Amino acid sequence: MAFAPLDPVLHNQLRLAIVSLLVGLESADFNFLLEKTGATRGNLSVQITKLNDAGYLTVKKTFKDNYPNTKCSLSPKGLKAFEKYVDALKGYLGT
């Protein structure tokens, strides 16, 4: 039996955590993702950029009370990639 390849963009613990959190949310801001993932600001920023570059996230930068505010939401492409990734993992687990 051949195993389905795992998406290299999602096959990273932090990127997978970000996408997993966003699956159930319309959007989330940077500080929410920071708190939930326990990542450093720099690492979270880099991984959000990688997901955005892959077209998996939509990132909107605004200001909130004179502070920069980054909001992320999962794109349709990102949702499809996540679902495909989960299906591939199920194949590895034999479920």
pLDDT tens, N- to C-terminus, the chain (95 residues): 578 899 999 999 999 999 999 999 999 999 999 999 999 999 999 999 999 999 999 999 999 888 889 999 999 999 999 999 999 999 999 87
pLDDT in tens, 39-57: 999 999 999 999 999 999 9
Rg (the chain; Cα; Å):
14
- Cα separation, 73 vs 39, whole angstroms: 18
Residue 82 and residue 19 in contact, taking contact as beta carbons nearer than 8 Å: yes
Residues near 69 by Cβ (< 8 Å), separated by ≥ 6? Answer: 29, 30, 61, 62, 63
H or E element in which residue 27 lies: none
- Cα separation, 57 vs 70, whole angstroms: 12
H or E element in which residue 36 lies: helix 30-37
